Every structure is written in C-alpha cells, then in structure tokens.
Structure 1
Amino acid sequence: MPSGDDSVILDEVEKIGSDQTILYDIPRARDSGYLTEARVGVIGISNDYEFRKNLSPKIKDSLCETEVYFPQYTSPELQEIVRTRAEKALSSGAYDTNTIARCGAKAYQNARGSARRAIRLLKKSAEIAEKEGVEPISDDHIDRAHEKLQYDNLVQKFTDQDNQKLYILKAVAHLTEQGKTPARTSTIHGVYEAVAYHYGDKPLTQRGMFNHLSKLVMFGWINTYEHNKGRGTGQWNEHEFSDDVKPDKVQEAFTHLGREWLAVDVTDCE
C-alpha cells in the first residue's frame, strides 16, 4: 500500500442510517491491519445538523471530529452561480438579467440557499421555454418550473420513507380521495391495516402506527387537530394532509418504487 495521507469523503453521510460501523472502521484501518503505511481520514458532508449528535461516543472518539460549518449561499451569490451556469449552457437570447435574479431569489427563499436547486430551476425553466419556442425565459416559465421541482422534490422525499410511513401516507391518501378527512387516528389505522396486509406486511398496533404518524406530522406533511371536550367527555385527534401534499404525489411515489396502487374502500375500515 502506498504511503501518505488520504481521505474518504462521504457526501450526505447521514444516509448511512443506523449502522455507523464504517465511521468507526475507516479511521482505524491502519491499527486493524488493513493498511500498513497510509493513514486515512474521513470527511463527512451533511445538511443534517443533528447527525453528529446521534453518533455514539465510541465513533466520536474514533473520528476525533472537527466541525466546519458552511453558511448557506446568499441571494446575490446564488445569482452569480446561476449567471455562470447560464453563460455556459444557454444561448445569449435564452435568458436575461431578470432570469438570473428570479432563479437566484427563488432558490434562496424556498430552498435554504441551495445552489443545486438554483441550477435545477434554471434548467427546468429553460426546458419549458424551449418547448414553447419562447425567448427569453419568462417569470411564468420560472414559476412553473418551481412548482414542478417542488412536486418532484416531495415525491422523492416520500420514496425515502420506510414502509410503515408509506402505508400511512397511502391510507390518508385514500381517505382524502373519498372525502373522509380530517380522520380520527382509529379510522386511519383501519385503512393502514388494509394497506399493510395488501403488501404482505404485518401492520403495527394503533399506538405503533401513531408513532410513525407523529413523524409525518413533524415533517409537515400531515396536520393534526386535538379535540378535547373536557373531563369525562373524551379527547381525540383528527388528521389530514397539509396543503402541500396531495394523493397523486403519494401515488407517484409508489409508482417510482414499482409498487401497485391498490384502491381501498375506506367505508370497510371505519
């Protein structure tokens, strides 16, 4: 093995999930006999500020971690990034100064200063304008591109969820389609059970399902309303999709995952 210092760079390091063994093994590769002369460090890149807090003490000790924080891009910085990309990718008549300013501003306002989002917005806007044979890119093109990216981004986030959360989303989607929301926790659980059984999984208890449902509320995908009529008269929760979530987005996520979209009659689950 050649001598020297090398680094393993893990982008979106939080995606390794709960098995963090690799973060322990890489820095100790030389001590473990996998390397003889080279020394290897780990650089983890993440937008999840909570990730480091969830590392075990053993892994933190192995990494001897140092945090380097990069603040989000400002709107002017994003506009400069968009301008540079436009100069290389588009003809001079395809965009103007308003295109640059609007793409940068929207990415700053809606994507926490994401350069990737600003570039994707420019690309999608240009595709819409090209399809319509219009120059330069207009505000309407950018607004429609933004809506499309928002839609695709949410669908992608759905596909990243575990099965239980997907089943809950599907259950609420069916209830929404049939005008049954806001729905009580027990009603959602009845539909969720039918969905889980269809995909060959054993459903969780209502309490177990509610724990996953609470995570979906935390993500901002489901709104929960607490009802309490006072002592002795009972209390309950009702749930429905937030304004950003529609049943077709959930269905598209299942399609991306290659899963059949089974219709469920919610009247049999109430």
Structure 2
Amino acid sequence: MSWSASAGTPGRERPVVTFGEPEGYDERGRGLSLAGRVAPRTATAAACIVLGLGLIGGAVTGGWIVDDGGDASAATSFSSASGLWHNVPVDELFPRTVQGTGAGPGGADRTWTRIAVAPAGGCSGAFDPLLRKALAPVGCQRLIRATYTDATQSYVTTVGLLFTKADSAGMTALAKRFASEHLDRRTDLLPLPYAAKDTAAERFGPHQRASWTISVLTDAPVVAYAVSGWADGRTVDTPQPAADAEASGATTAAAQAGLGNEAEGLADRIERRLRRNIVGTATEKPS
C-alpha cells in the first residue's frame, strides 16, 4: 500500500529536522541498522504467504477433484441402471413376496404376493395412448412388469419399470414436465394392468383400474409405476391418483378400500429395490 498525501514545504519559522535511521545492536554491542534486521523478517513473512497460498490452492484443487469424482460416480450409476432389466434376476427386481410395513391405510402393514411376471418387451399395449405419447421423448428400451395381490386376494396391482433410452438431461426434462403439467394425475394418462390368465388378476382390465402412481426418476433412465384395482373384476368409472386416494378425508370407493395405498406402497418398495440394485451394480469391481 502507498500513501499519496504530501507533508508540504517547511517554512523558515519552523526548523527542518531530519531523523537518521534507527539503530539496533549486534551481539558485540555495535550499532546495527534496523533495515538489516527487517530484511530477514520480510523474507520470512513472504515465505509464509507463499506457503499459505500453496495450501489454499491445494485445498481448492482437492475440492475440485472430489466434486469431479461425485459427478463421475453419478454418471456411472445412471449408466449401469439402463442394463438392470437383463443383468439382475427377476426375483431381485420383483420379489415373490414384498413386505409393506406401515404401507396400508392408517399405517397398517401390507404383504403382497407376486402372481405373474410379464415377459420383458416393448411398450406397445402397456399405456393409454396419451401416456404413451407423453413418454415418447425418452424412448422405450425395455418394459418389465409384474402383478401382485394382497394377503386376502381382494386387490391386484401391476407394477412396472420402463427402462428408457434417455440420458440424464432427458429424464430431468420429462420429470419437470410431469410435475409442471400434472401428467401423473390425469385420468386419460394411465398405465395398463397385466392381467395374467388363471390368476387372481385375470379380470384386471382397463375398466378395472381404480388407482395409480407414476414416478419419473432423474438418477436413472427409468419410469416406475403401479396401477391397482379389485380382484373381483368390478369396474371403476373414474380412477383416482394414489396421492388423492391416500389423502385424509378421501371418501371414494378406491380411497375407502385402500387402493391408493396398494399402488403407492408397492411402487415405493419396488423402486427402493431398484435403487439398491443400481448402487450394487455401479460399485461392483470386475473380476
């Protein structure tokens, strides 16, 4: 830092006094210029500054390295998820029995038993036309589905995992659109059930859908969903989104029967298993 203010010119009435450079003393008592003592201290201070800047720079660089590693890990997880449909056994993604602790109305426990698994295939015949159109931007790599029934075999629920062809940006864009346009709540954009013959879901067709949920994942190229209904084949005029059917005070037949809980609870458990498999696959080391 430099000072720019001037002291002025001394007048005649005020004598001009100059001060010599202050002195110190060496080990023999001889006079020693203060400048000679300041120089080493200045050099030491400069060295400390350089060292400090080096440490700070190293810390910042280290932070960048950690951040890059996190991004790389996320990218690896996203990439590995796309192949889970054929790399992971069906019992890992759709277990024969799923426990839903606290998943029922009022926090009641639920147990779902798998009664049918659809062959892995494309998306044809799996969604209502408008939902298929809404999902078109992310593409359809493979669709896997399974149908479950509750412990009393009163309800049936089809749960599905759509593996898309999209990258992370594409999935994020689709998720934002579903959220902003409420596409997951429109009754003309529903997934279709998988009604396997000779099972409790044999009469579970398009007109039997009572409640549903759809989740667009952004950390994996997957759209997860579930749709539920009665096992006795009764028709439903107006399906209700699971979030509405689970709401306090909901009085629709689907809400009173807990079909919103069936769809939401089962979809949530299957999605959790999917994420665990993504983490396990991404961290596996080649043999």
Q: TM-score, normalised by structure 2?
A: 0.20
Between Structure 1 and Structure 2, whose CA radius of gyration is higher? 2
The answer to which structure has the higher strand fraction is 2
The answer to which structure has the higher helix fraction is 1
Q: TM-score, normalised by structure 1?
A: 0.21
